[in-house]
Structure 1
Amino acid sequence: MPMDWEAEFVFRAILIGVGATATMDIWAVVMKRAFGVPSLNYGFVGRWLGHMRHGQFAHESIAEAPPIAGEQIIGWSAHYVIGVIFAGLFLFVLGVDWARDPTLLPAVLFGIVTVSAPFFVMQPGMGLGFAAAKAPKSNIARLRSLIAHTSFGFGLFLATWSAAQVFQI
């Protein structure tokens, strides 16, 4: 029995979002092991999000903010949920038909566009300023964010292509 559009959309968004986010994380591990490039501390993301329930949305320095119970779990969970949301937005824009026969360029371009989230929301909220302007090495921080989100774009393509091979929906 064929899957209805909504179910297929949600199924693909979850599968593609998790796959693309995992690709981004694998890239971060490769960069750390091969070149010593530190990856984002998702505990700080969890700390930032955890403080929001108390009405604090911005910090001078998230590293100096009081820790939140479970901040690692909160941060890592948010990382994957955001990846699924981004994948859903991408599928909404391009359509499920694209997911049945994906192409690389739209996925990579969308990955690059997603760097606007940390540049304009997360980094300012965590005390780094817009596009990491207050970071000690702001240009390096921007480049790392851009590379990470480009890897997410490649992950969008790889996860979508893999799903298209396995699930003939």
Structure 2
Amino acid sequence: MSYLINALVIGAGATAVMDAWGIARKTLLGIAPPDYRMLGRWIGHMPRGRFRHDAITKAPPVRGERWIGWTAHYLTGIAFAAGLVAFCGDAWLRDPSIGPAMLTGIVTVAAPFLLMQPGMGAGIAASRTPRPGTARIQSLINHAVFGLGLYAAGWAARFLVN
């Protein structure tokens, strides 16, 4: 049970750090945060057998897409944290270190590059977007911030859960 609670706290905490970064970068740099409503739309079409879109923004909206997207976003963060905790074990939970957390954060960029972006019509690693290099850098930064969030949430969980 402790494993699940740690994964929940660390994953939700790291995802919240990533979302806080999204708000900060909008305020400081004028860069809009990801629209998780589009993630919800993509997922919402899956039960209907549609896994790939030419442009998710042109796909018909699905009921509750915002809620679906945000829920999937947090569940994904929790799943990634569960992977970190499973791989590193109790030793990392007792004494979180930044290396495994950052590595996990960076590796998780594979999910949008290889699954989400192609499925939503943006191509592999945003290759079909107007500025793929910029999109890739932003994804990498967001996931690095998620890695920092894993580290910070790991320390918080150390005191809250363990």
Q: TM-score range by the shorter chain?
A: over 0.9
Quote the residue 1:114 is aligned against.
Answer: 108
Q: Which runs of 5+ in 2 are unaligned?
A: none
Deviations 1:65-117 (A, max 9, x none): 00001000000000000000000011111112211110111101110000000
Q: Distance in 1 between matches of 2:146 and 2:38?
A: 20
User: Aligned AA for 1:109?
Assistant: L
Quote the residue 2:95 is aligned against.
Answer: 101
Quote the residue 2:146 is aligned against.
Answer: 152
Considering only CA atoms, is the larger Rg found in Structure 1 or Structure 2? 1
Quote the residue 1:75 is aligned against.
Answer: 69
**Does the CA contact (< 8 Å) of 2:84 and 2:100 recur in 1?**
no
Q: Distance in 1 between matches of 2:105 and 2:137?
A: 14
Quote the residue 2:49 is aligned against.
Answer: 55
User: Aligned AA for 1:63?
Assistant: T
Deviations 1:102-136 (A, max 9, x none): 01111011100000000000000000000000011
Quote the residue 1:3 is aligned against.
Answer: none
Quote the residue 2:136 is aligned against.
Answer: 142
Deviations 1:129-168 (A, max 9, x none): 000000111000000000000000000000001111333x
Q: Which runs of 5+ in 1 are unaligned?
A: 1-6
Superposition CA RMSD, Å:
0.7
TM-score by length of structure 1 reads 0.94
